[in-house]
Amino acid sequence: MSARIAHEQALFSSGDRRIARVIETTARLRGDLNAAIRETGIDPLFHTSRIRSHAEVLPWEIVDAGMGRPFMEREHERAHEARSTAPCPSVNQCTRCGVCPTTWLAEASPALVQLKAFATASPSVA
């Protein structure tokens, strides 16, 4: 993924209601996001690059994806340490994101847990 696309995704996913004006203007300007940002006067860095406290309510929190705030805060801290969490179902123990019951992986068939060796072999993935 290019840095430009990553920045656009960060803007759209982290932005608040004001970004709706940018999206509408971008559509009117036939996809010219930079011109839309200039026309609306929105500072994209406010939405994409500033440090946010864990207490700040994020725009997408009205959507319940099943992952709790404690899990997301832990993932945020891990990202700052350049550590990643192995994706389900590649771990031996539930990472407690909140989406699944905490016992589902222990009861899963061995065929479902397909990446066990990778999860135990990679020290940066836990």
Residue with tokens 């805060």: 73
pLDDT tens column, 55-75:
888 877 788 777 778 888 998
Length reported for the chain? 126
DSSP string spanning 40-99?
Answer: HT--HHHHHTS---TTSPPGGGGS--S--HHHHHHHHHHHHTT-BPPPTTSSSS----SS
The pTM for the full model equals 0.58
The sign of the CA dihedral 72, 73, 79, 81 is: negative
Question: Reduced to 3 states, what is the DSSP secondary structure of residue 112?
Answer: coil
User: What are the φ/ψ torsions at residue 123 (nearest 5 degrees)?
Assistant: -70, -25
Mean pLDDT of the chain: 80
pLDDT tens column, 102-125:
555 556 666 665 544 444 454 554
In sequence order, which residues have a C-beta less than 8 Å from that of residue 98 and are 6 or more positions away?
66, 67, 68, 71
**What's the confidence (pLDDT) of residue 27?**
97
Check pLDDT > 80 for residue 94. no
